[in-house]
Structure 1
Amino acid sequence: MESDSIHAIISAYENLSVYTTDQVQEAVQKVIKKYGITFEQFCLLRLLELKPGTSPIQIADYFNINKSGVSIRIGRLVDKGYIEKKMIDNRSHGLYTTEAGKELFLKGQQKIHELVGEWIRELGEEDSKEFIRIYWKINEIIKKQRVNK
């Protein structure tokens, strides 16, 4: 592939990625603002709702951030009563959403589903499935690159 073509594709990706991410953040902004959390904290809450018992080390790996950064984020959500720590064994603990955290997650998730649902209806089933297939492929490339670093 030619350099100009690669540059054009990268530029298009940047524009689309930033815009769509912004649209998703905007969709949940009213909900998270009401609950006093950031979009990043909402993403952490979402992970814990989908994978209860996740450890801080697993969170750091999942979001590709350092453990001290995870500790700060966890502390803020614990202080607000949206997640709680439960001992798994004598040396480690897992993180779980509280009832308040579940409520917040569901309200934010509903906003995302409404927005993305509109996109999917416009795209149609075939294009939506193709988009997800390609996005999964990109995700796998990202995972491989992390492992190789």
Structure 2
Amino acid sequence: MTLRIERVTDASTVLRGAHLFDEAVDAAATSRFLASPTHHLLFAYDDEVADPMHPVGMISGAELTHPDKGTEMFLNELGVDEVAQRRGIGGALVRELAALAQSRGCTAMWVGTEPDNVAALATYRSTGPVSSEPFVAFTWEF
């Protein structure tokens, strides 16, 4: 495997990886996301699986700062193209975001996922988190 991970800085690159997101990519949200220095989007490329310009994985994170916790990295979303799954790409993306978080002075990185999401649980566990705690999530939609 020839894996390359790059930070995404322009909207046209995001569009090339639109298939990796849960929902349709929104132009205004993309611009706002990319404009923030505390938002991070990384794409993975694997020349053995796809065209070198076609991303096969993505991870997004956002730095969250709080008065009593300092700055932590929230791993917002991880996605790997079906043709590239089970090749270690998800784990490589998580480790790359963790390294970025450390380099930016974050004190921790965290993520939430569904308890029945076997692939996500395996990926996150394989990257060496310190703890895994059950929690309840509430969502307000506006």
What TM-score do you get using the length of structure 2 for normalisation?
A: 0.28
Larger Rg: 1
Name which structure has the greater RCO, CA cutoff 8 Å, separation 6+.
1
Higher strand share: 2
